Structure 1
């Protein structure tokens, strides 16, 4: 990208400066003749145009400074390009109003690792004499990288309880730097705060559920951010998703019912079976739908129940926690248990048929559910679900949520 400054006009005030600089350069270089320093024979161009990092520099780190200066002239144009692999990209920047310096602009101006930079600058003196400078430098190629696996997906429509969640591939010790590099904004605007769960997970949410119709943008500027000593991020990405209609469901484990509300209005009450009394009770608390499968296998050995069950075709499975709590269709139990008994191994079961059907209670609920919808369980004999078990962050009040931010 070219950045053009107006040509300087000579004045009596500037003439002594050029003359003095000519004398100094003549002494230092031993050159002869009367040519301008911008003409080439009176002095080396690096004295007229200074580039940082210096020409030929290697292994420049992410904290390196990129700048171009013309201490005794005016920059006419500056073009900086970055090459990563086979991809070339212009680095945006601005020439100062006095024409003496150029600096990069925005996140694109930050030094990127594993890249080669080239700088082409043109400067003029007060008489309009011109000089050019071409320099190159390369940046550090880190041996260790990290990425953040995130949800929800780009361009998705999600429920009002959706939490933006990052799971990092390596432990993060520089939490403030990483959190600062991730920006979550909303239209209409609302405060969104990040909360760390350990060293490898960062979630974002507002104080209350999102309003329907909100557009949420997640900007990740993690590339070359040092997440831990000598471990740098790779992602430079933007994700946009939309909040759909409001739907929340209240499971009463004691009453064996689930009340479903749309936009605050009760639309249905569904008979359910929850976790059996004793060791297989269902968690209390607010859980957010994070995954939906029309059919899945549920094997008790994967969640600590040994060989107590292995059902290869569970229909209409809606994941509520990472530890294995689902709301799902149940075709193997007697119809009479729904609305009257709790017999599951911790999940919430709705009446269904083998293979699933859109005409069953489970099928109708599944078809009307979005990732990000909230399901809250009350009156169970179990404890409240942990806030980091799935997208359980709504179980923390706003004060405790903000206390988990690294930007305080």
Structure 2
């Protein structure tokens, strides 16, 4: 016998299904739903030093941004110097994992600083962090300023050109100041700063600059601690072009001057050097640089201490004169000298004919090397721009940092920051 179950209507089946669904819903909880979802990554956390709200902060304190549970994607530093002036040029360096950023330079004295950092977590979610603080003022009378720079912005110079920075106050913390002065070149080079006294810093590459390139000098001196209580108060930037390579060689014995341009001999002149009857009348041997150019220039040995009453006193006005030292040495017109190419009869300068001295005047750039050989008087390293008298190794060893600077890369050896 077959057993038959009662047939239910469609409406009844739908009602039963609804009841089952309602019962299942009644047994469900919010915790059960969330348990099936992926966990959310923690937001990145960032610490900024100096901390928010600080005042009288040392200008040479580094700005440090540290990220936890994430990486730093952007840091900006705004330094408000006055109502109308804001500096946003501060750069910094990341570590390999981009979990730390450290400022490259020091901060302006008396500025309101805002550091804004952005970091993202493992899911790419970004969070912004801000620290606002103010820096210590520079005290009147203890403000380091740039007195002069020997290179004119935008000028074209010779391959031997140094960068000479003269300060208005003595610098004791030379390593920090060196580290604040960045030299960049388009073509690879190594160089360093040397100091001549406490107020003059000189940058020179190990070898002559490669010709036909741009060199940029960034003097990031605002906020650097130059001496106890003395702060730099300005940044300065200049660019110059290195022109063709022109190197002149003068031989005391042959009384000849040879000019090479980009490695090719282009001129040879008869000359007359110092008569060498006295030390002061002896032309110095060594690598000189062309420093300044004059026309109708007064030449006199009163610059050597000779009075007008002395029988050896002289005074002449020359058509063309190019200075190569601070001890009175010039390459100049000497239309009275009839022994050019034959004998050395000058008072220490390099005598030339009118057309030859005019050519040299017109065809030379400041910073062109002039090598003199054969005399028994050596050019001093601090006589004019006699900086090439030091070897490359000695030049680097005489720097305060003791390291060569790769001018094709950003940054400098050492650090301008205060060591805690």
Q: Same fold (TM over 0.5)?
A: yes
Aligned to 2:289: 288
Distance 2:325 2:91 in 1: 47
2:139 aligns with 142
Show CA shifts across 1:26-58 (max 9, x none). xxxxxxxxxxxxxxxxxxxxxxx9994564x65
- Residue 375 of structure 2 is aligned to residue 376 of structure 1: no
Q: Distance in 1 between matches of 2:66 and 2:212?
A: 48
Measure the CA separation in 2 of the matches of 1:391 and 1:302. 19
Any conservation in 2 of the 1:247–1:373 contact (CA below 8 Å)? Answer: yes
Distance 1:267 1:185 in 2: 31
Matches within 5 A, 1:3-402: 52=50, 55=53, 58-64=55-61, 81-85=78-82, 86-90=84-88, 105-107=103-105, 110-117=106-113, 137-143=134-140, 144=142, 145-147=144-146, 149-279=148-278, 280-307=281-308, 308-311=313-316, 313-331=317-335, 333-334=336-337, 336-352=338-354, 360-380=355-375, 382-402=376-396
Q: Is the 8 A contact 1:286 1:394 kept in 2?
A: yes
- 1:317, distance to aligned residue in structure 2 (A): 1.5
Q: Is the 8 A contact 1:187 1:215 kept in 2?
A: yes
How has the CA–CA distance of structure 1 residues 66 and 179 changed in structure 2, closer, same or farther, with 3 Å as cutoff? closer
Q: 1:120 to 1:306 in 2, by over 3 A?
A: same
* Conserved? CA contact 2:81–2:111, under 8 Å: yes
1:297 and 1:252 map into 2 onto residues whose CA distance is: 26
CA contact (8 A) 1:190 1:206 kept: yes
Q: Which has the higher contact order (CA 8 A, sep 6+)?
A: 2
Match in the other structure for 2:11: none
How far did residue 238 of structure 1 move? Answer: 2.3
Offset, 1:371: 0.9
Gaps of 5+ in 2: 1-38, 119-128, 403-420
Q: In the alignment, is the contact (CA less than 8 A) between 2:76 and 2:88 conserved in 1? A: yes
Q: CA RMSD in A?
A: 4.0
Aligned-partner SS, 1:192: strand
Q: Is contact 1:51–1:67 with CA below 8 Å preserved after alignment? A: yes
Provide the rounded CA distance (Å) in 2 between the counterparts of 1:243 and 1:141: 36
CA 1:169–1:255 in 2, change beyond 3 Å: closer, same or farther? Answer: same
Deviation at 1:282? 0.6
Q: TM-score, normalised by structure 1?
A: 0.71
C-alpha contact 1:147 1:234 (8 A) present in aligned 2: no
Cα deviation digits, residues 94-131 of structure 1 (max 9, x gap): 9x9xxxx9977554xx4310323467999xxxxxxxxx
Q: Partners in 2 of 1:103 and 1:267 — Cα distance?
A: 53
TM-score by length of 2: 0.69
Q: Which of the two has higher C-alpha Rg?
A: 2
* 2:190 alignment partner, SS class: coil
Distance 1:80 1:206 in 2: 32
Q: Please tell me whether the aligned partners of residues 271 and 351 of structure 2 are also in contact (alpha carbons under 8 angstroms).
A: yes
Cα displacement (A) at 1:372 = 1.1
| Contact 2:213–2:242, Cα closer than 8 Å, also in 1 | yes
Residue-by-residue CA offset, 1:231-277 (whole Å, 9 max, x unaligned) = 22233222222221121111122322211122222222211121122
8 Å contact kept, 2:63–2:103: no
Mark the CA change 1:133 to 1:274 in structure 2 (over 3 Å): closer, same or farther: closer
Q: 1:376-395 CA distances to partner (integer Å, 9 max, x unpaired)? A: 11122x41101121221222
Deviation at 1:292, TM superposition (A): 1.4
Deviation at 1:194, TM superposition (A): 2.2
Residues 54-108 of structure 1: per-residue CA shift (max 9 Å, x gap):
64x653321346579999xxx9x998643224313447699x9xxxx9977554x
Q: 1:137 to 1:301 in 2, by over 3 A?
A: same
Aligned-partner SS, 2:177:
helix
Q: CA deviation at 1:285?
A: 0.8
How far off its partner does 1:404 sit?
A: 0.7
Query: Does the aligned pair in 2 maintain the 1:219–1:238 contact within 8 Å?
Result: yes
Question: Residue 155 of structure 1: CA displacement?
Answer: 1.9
Alignment partners' CA distance in 2, 1:138 and 1:206? 35
Distance 1:190 1:121 in 2: 34
